[in-house]
Amino acid sequence: MSAPENLFKTRLKSGDTLIGLWLALGDASAAELASRIGFDWLVIDGEHGPNELRDVLAQLRAVGANSQPVVRLRDDDRARIKQVLDLGAQTLLIPMIETADQAREAVRSVLYPPQGVRGIGATLARASGHGAFADYLTTANDQICLLLQVESRAGLDALDDILAVEGVDGVFIGPSDLAADMGHLGQPGAAPVQEAIRAAIPRIREAGKAAGILTTDLALARDYAAMGVAFLAVGSDVGVLSAGLRRLRSEF
* Active site residues per annotation: 48
Give the sign of the dihedral formed by CA 137, CA 139, CA 142, CA 144.
negative
The span from the first CA to the last CA of the chain, in angstroms, equals 56
CB proximity list for 79: less than 8 A, separation 6 or greater? none
| Spatial contact of 155 and 177, defined as CB atoms under 8 Å apart | no
Angle at 115 between CA 160 and CA 8, to 5 degrees: 65
| Spatial contact of 6 and 88, defined as CB atoms under 8 Å apart | no
